Amino acid sequence: MSLIDNKVNDFVVRFANVNGTGSASANFLFTKAIFRMGIPVTPKNIFPSNIQGLPTWYEVRISEKGYLGRREGIDLVVSVNPQSMLNDVASVRPGGYFLYDSSKKLHDQYIREDINYIGIPLMLMCNEAYTDPRQRQLFKNIIYVGALAALFEIEFAVLEELLGEQFKGKEKLIPANVKALKLGVDYIHANFKYPLDIRVERRDLIGDSIMIDGNSACGLGAVYAGATVAAWYPITPSTSVVEAFSSYAGEFRVDKITGKKNVAIVQAEDELAAIGMVIGANWNGARSFTATSGPGLSLMNEFLGLAYFAEIPTVLIDVQRTGPSTGMPTRTQQSDILEAAYASHGDTKHVLLFPSTPKECFDLTVDAFDLAEQLQTPVIMLTDLDLGMNDHVSPPFVWDDKREYNRGKVLDAAALDKIVKFGRYLDVDNDGITYRTYPGTHPSKGSFFTRGTSRDEYATYTEDGAAYQRNVDRLIKKWNTAKSIVPAPQLYQEQSQFANGILFFGTSQYAAEEAIDLLNQKQIFVDAIRIKSFPFNETVQDFINSHEKVFVIEQNRDAQMKSLLLIELGADPQKMISVLNYDGMPITADNIFKQITKNLSFSPEFKIKN
Amino acid sequence: MTYIRPKFRHPELIKNKLGYTVDYYEGALSTLCAGCGHDSISAGIIQACYEMNIEPHKLAKLSGIGCSSKTPAYVLSNSHGFNSVHGRMPSVATGANLANNDLIYLGVSGDGDTASIGMGQFVHVIRRNLNMLYIVMNNGCYGLTKGQDSATADQGSKNKSGNINLFESIDLASLSIELGATFVAQSFSGDKTQLVPLIKAALNHPGFAFINVISPCVTFNNNVGSTKSYDYVRQHVEATATVDFVPEMTEITTTYEEGTTKQVKMHDGSYISLNKLAQDWDPLDRLSAMNAVQNARAKGEILTGLLYVNPDCSDLHEMLQTSDRPLNSLTKSDLCPGSEMLKEINADLR
């Protein structure tokens, strides 16, 4: 084996497990220990659409430089699933390691000359140490974590501390777990040279960051935003958004004495009913939201058109997965962009938000409620499976107690008394946003008929073409108002410096930022922008205008974000270059680097501005 | 129909307890066909709300799409209304109700809107026992698209074009009893004497109240051979009982012959007083109600009146244990855990 560079705090471990065998908590223990040692780490679950018995992988990247995207090339595989072993052996980079259960002799077909084998008789050790069949199964996972601790020099005290936290209140479970860890450590100490060339060293690179998945962050954000009604239909990968909301609401929204709840959560009969309930609740003045994924978004189209046209605030969190149709339900993609932007028939457009981190999931969920009520329209937050279901190192959540909920233009009884004639769709402020009333506000003023049909400024049904056109033109005026209040994009430079720029959004951020470094190492320099919302504001337009080429990085086949930029900003198609990834796995920096350099290699005129 | 609303009102219209005359409960002028059964039901709704002293703004009226779903515009102009999308009124009503448990919710739907495109939502709103009155104006056909058969058209019924309906009809009253609806009634748009007390009792019911009202379509389904025509329905109506709704604290003055009357006590002390006509039927017994409806069907009759009621039921809010204060009245101080708590949450995630 050859010692490649410095592999301290810079490697990828892949766990090959069988789903439903308790591997998830052991694997998380491994990740969290590295996080606790102050080292940036990013885990990805690669799991089947199945409950028990199929292969599942957990891939952990450790990166001193703080690169939190996925990386190709696996340094060490922990193999405890015979089903996928052939592929798992093949996935190890030359010179890497294959850790396996050596209770039975490894068949010749699994032997490669260019990798290192670490055999640990996990099954035999468990059978000897434990009598309970379930423990024999579970502790195999803990033993390999112990072995990895010895191989990578993970601090044992950190692992013990984490077990203590995990089993708080169930302390009697701790000794058996510690015993399993030690079995792993001792076996490595007795049989192998340790530590490996790939190993960890304590750092202070995490600061005050937290580790959480995006879906939980969305659920928590909805609690902080004051959502009181949630309606949903179970669908991977969005299910845990409402589950997290429900769990946090159980903590913060239940009266300790009466048990009464300041929240109502309904599991609907389908996604149509879920969004219908959300619209009904928002119409009646409660903050309400739903969460879904691609197939659910397709079903919600009709109602989204109603909410757009009848101007009812609606918050929808779409955790994107690989489409079309049922697609790959447990793989990631950014492929609902056009579907969400123009959901429903007729001329419709919807406000979109694109979070990149759990902190942004929290912040943008709160913003989504404010924006939906300010603009009286649906706001769709597009996260994805990678962000939603994987743990991420994230800046901590922050809440400003001075922040008030922006409930938008709502007239109460006193305000109605001052008005001669209330017009629900009268553009009083000339910004396209009109005043609404909640049912039950005033005995004789402010009632109106909400409808998906055309109506005049006083909400009265009309088939007068001029009145119809006035109304839809006002909706565009409102759309233009939205441009100035939706979250601004993140610019990576104060002003454009280079001929080429890269544009990305959502979870491509991690890989894109790393790709910028890879490009810089090759003396290729680019400006960068991360889009956080739609409609696009002027900053996005300026960025495109001020570059000769703009590489649009996205995780779908059809370059949907590029299409949206072309449609909405009239950008020159010749200068917009797609960098795409759509195999269902999170995009990597290497992939972006290769696609960009390949394109630039055909452009000899490529130069650095000024 | 007319396009001019007469402004004349009787100068001595009687005011209800709130000081409103009945015209205060009217809505916009109906644009339905002259003689449409739906207009009679709208009149029944107006009458019932007036007699029950309901503050119009404390009632929200919701509907889907279709002729029937237009009618909320023709009643209670001081109520907020929501004409949603086809077959989806129940979900919108559910969300609205969850947001504010202080209002009365009136949902109006049709046979297409409920028994076809909206069947899924209808079934599930019953399961949740949402506190609302759900009226189906049932004419057995799609009026707005010119008379196609609906799923409630009886097998063998002939429509205006002469086509015989081949398919088994969906009996919404039986279905809702089967699904556990806690108030189920059936009526005929031509029988206001029966309909108004039923609407009043239903509005007073603390859970999901369903009234299936046979409401003939004069334009597309009033022909000979149709089982939803005025003539046919009049000839085949059989009532369970005559119905009277007696509000709380009112002395019962009507007397019926011993043995044939039944008083159903409602949750708030009011009564539904029934003068029983049907034999072997107890409105408090689900099985006997089901039998009564099915027996009538077998005889080719349409059983009307109150069919089933369970006055002691828990509505969705009770089941979900939501706060007594309407959720839409809660503010940041009630809802937001604040920055200190968030610091603790962050600490747990490190």
Rounded percentage of chain A residues whose pLDDT exceeds 90? 94
Q: What is the pLDDT of residue A609?
A: 43
pLDDT over 60 (residue B257): no
- Quick check: B102 and A262 CB within 8 A? no
**B342 near A CB under 8 A:** yes
Which two structure tokens, joined as six digits, stand for A159?
């692992």
Q: What is the pLDDT of residue B137?
A: 97
Q: Which of B336, B341, B348 to mutate to test the interface with A (most CBs of A within 10 A)?
A: B336
Segment B240-246 mean pLDDT:
84
> Do residues A372 and A312 touch, judged by C-beta distance below 8 A?
no
- Quick check: A274 and B332 CB within 8 A? no
Find residues 199-218 of chain A whose CB sits inside 8 Å of chain B.
206, 208-212
Find residues 196-225 of chain B whose CB sits inside 8 Å of chain A.
none
**A162 near B CB under 8 A:** no
Q: Which of B320, B328, B338 comes nearest A399 by C-beta?
A: B338
Quote the CA–CA distance of A450 and A388 in Å, as a whole number: 35
**A34 near B CB under 8 A:** no
Give the angle subtended at the CA of A271 by the CAs of A267 and A274, to the nearest 5°: 50
pLDDT over 70 (residue B19): yes
The one-letter code for the residue type at B64 is: G
**B314 near A CB under 8 A:** no
**B317 near A CB under 8 A:** yes
**B53 near A CB under 8 A:** no
Tell me which chain A residues have a C-beta less than 8 angstroms from the C-beta of B102.
Answer: 440
Q: What is the pLDDT of residue A2?
A: 40
Tens-digit pLDDT profile for residues A317-361: 999 999 999 999 999 999 999 999 999 999 999 999 999 999 999
Q: What is the pLDDT of residue B3?
A: 67
**B330 near A CB under 8 A:** yes
**A545 near B CB under 8 A:** no
Tell me which chain A residues have a C-beta less than 8 angstroms from the C-beta of B81.
Answer: 447-451
pLDDT over 80 (residue B277): no
Tell me which chain A residues have a C-beta less than 8 angstroms from the C-beta of B317.
Answer: 264
Quote the CA–CA distance of B179 and B191 in Å, as a whole number: 27
Beta strands of A263-330 (E only): which ranges?
Answer: 264-267, 288-292, 314-320
Q: Which of A228, A278, A449 comes nearest B81 by C-beta?
A: A449
**A521 near B CB under 8 A:** no
pLDDT bucket at B249, cuts 50 / 70 / 90: low
pLDDT bucket at B245, cuts 50 / 70 / 90: confident
Tens-digit pLDDT profile for residues A430-469: 999 999 999 999 999 999 999 999 999 999 999 999 999 9
- Quick check: B350 and A210 CB within 8 A? yes
Tens-digit pLDDT profile for residues B116-134: 999 999 999 999 999 999 9
Mean pLDDT (chain B, rounded): 92
Quote the CA–CA distance of B83 and B73 in Å, as a whole number: 9
Q: Is B262 left (phi over 0), alpha (psi -120 to 50) or beta?
A: beta
**B9 near A CB under 8 A:** no
From A230's Cα to the closest Cα of chain B, the distance in A is 9
Quote the CA–CA distance of A312 and A310 in Å, as a whole number: 6
Assign A261 to helix, strand or coil. Answer: strand
Which two structure tokens, joined as six digits, stand for B350?
């490190």
The one-letter code for the residue type at A258 is: T
**B64 near A CB under 8 A:** no
Domains of chain A: 10-191 (3.40.920.10), 212-394 (3.40.50.970), 413-485 (no CATH), 490-601 (3.40.50.920)
Least confident among A16-30, A370-384, A492-506: A16-30
**A421 near B CB under 8 A:** no
- Quick check: B339 and A399 CB within 8 A? yes
Tell me which chain A residues have a C-beta less than 8 angstroms from the C-beta of B60.
Answer: 284, 439-440
Helix (H), strand (E) at residue B91 = helix B89-99
Among the listed residues B26, B210, B244, B191, the one whose alpha carbon sits nearest the alpha carbon of residue B105 = B210
Q: What is the pLDDT of residue B206?
A: 95
pLDDT over 90 (residue B265): no
Q: Compute how many other C-beta atoms are within 10 angstroms of the C-beta atom of residue A507.
A: 30
Tell me which chain A residues have a C-beta less than 8 angstroms from the C-beta of B29.
Answer: none
Quote the CA–CA distance of A602 and A117 in Å, as a whole number: 43
Q: Is A259 left (phi over 0), alpha (psi -120 to 50) or beta?
A: left
- Quick check: B91 and A288 CB within 8 A? no
From A196's Cα to the closest Cα of chain B, the distance in A is 27
Quote the CA–CA distance of A138 and A126 in Å, as a whole number: 9
Quote the CA–CA distance of A367 and A406 in Å, as a whole number: 9
Tens-digit pLDDT profile for residues A63-122: 999 999 999 999 999 999 999 999 999 999 999 999 999 999 999 999 999 999 999 999
Closest chain B CA to residue A290? B95
**B129 near A CB under 8 A:** no
Assign A204 to helix, strand or coil. Answer: coil
pLDDT over 80 (residue B5): no
Helix (H), strand (E) at residue A267 = strand A264-267
From B132's Cα to the closest Cα of chain A, the distance in A is 14
**A597 near B CB under 8 A:** no
Q: What is the pLDDT of residue B253?
A: 53
Which two structure tokens, joined as six digits, stand for B301?
């009759």
Q: Is A95 left (phi over 0), alpha (psi -120 to 50) or beta?
A: left
Helix (H), strand (E) at residue A603 = none
Q: Mind giving me the DSSP string for B42-53?
A: HHHHHHHHHHTT
Q: Which of A229, A397, A460 comes nearest B98 by C-beta?
A: A229
Which two structure tokens, joined as six digits, stand for A361?
């999931």
Q: What is the pLDDT of residue A608?
A: 46
Task: Tell whether domain B22-322 is in CATH 3.40.50.970.
Answer: yes
Least confident among A132-136, A249-253, A265-269, B135-139: A132-136
Q: Which of B16, B77, B94 to mutate to test the interface with A (most CBs of A within 10 A)?
A: B94
Tell me which chain B residues have a C-beta less than 8 angstroms from the C-beta of A437.
Answer: 80
The one-letter code for the residue type at A122 is: L
Q: Which of B80, B100, B124 to mutate to test the interface with A (most CBs of A within 10 A)?
A: B80
**B323 near A CB under 8 A:** yes
From A467's Cα to the closest Cα of chain B, the distance in A is 19
From B248's Cα to the closest Cα of chain A, the distance in A is 24
Tell me which chain B residues have a C-beta less than 8 angstroms from the C-beta of A262.
Answer: 322-323, 327, 330, 334-335
- Quick check: B338 and A401 CB within 8 A? yes
Tens-digit pLDDT profile for residues A476-512: 999 999 999 999 999 999 998 999 999 999 999 999 9
Among the listed residues A63, A64, A36, the one whose alpha carbon sits nearest the alpha carbon of residue A154 = A36
Q: Look-up: residue for tokens 């140490």?
A: A129
Q: Which of B88, B123, B317, B325 to mutate to test the interface with A (most CBs of A within 10 A)?
A: B88
- Quick check: A273 and B94 CB within 8 A? yes
> Do residues A386 and A507 touch, judged by C-beta distance below 8 A?
yes
Tens-digit pLDDT profile for residues A64-75: 999 999 999 999
pLDDT over 60 (residue B287): yes
- Quick check: B124 and A268 CB within 8 A? yes
- Quick check: A223 and B335 CB within 8 A? yes
**A224 near B CB under 8 A:** yes
Segment A33-57 mean pLDDT:
93
Which two structure tokens, joined as six digits, stand for A342?
């123009």
Complex ipTM > 0.90: yes
Read off the pTM: 0.96
Tell me which chain A residues have a C-beta less than 8 angstroms from the C-beta of B332.
Answer: 226, 404-405
**B259 near A CB under 8 A:** no
Mean pLDDT (chain A, rounded): 95
**A283 near B CB under 8 A:** yes
**B102 near A CB under 8 A:** yes
Sign of the dihedral defined by the CA atoms of residues B290, B201, B35, B70, in that order? negative
Per-position b or e across A217-256, b if 16+ CB within 10 A of its CB:
bbbbbbbbbbbbbbbbbebbbbbbbbbbbbebbeebbbee
Task: Mark out the alpha helices in B205-337 (DSSP H runs).
Answer: 230-236, 286-298, 316-320, 332-335
Tell me which chain A residues have a C-beta less than 8 angstroms from the C-beta of B339.
Answer: 398-401
> Do residues A218 and A392 touch, judged by C-beta distance below 8 A?
no
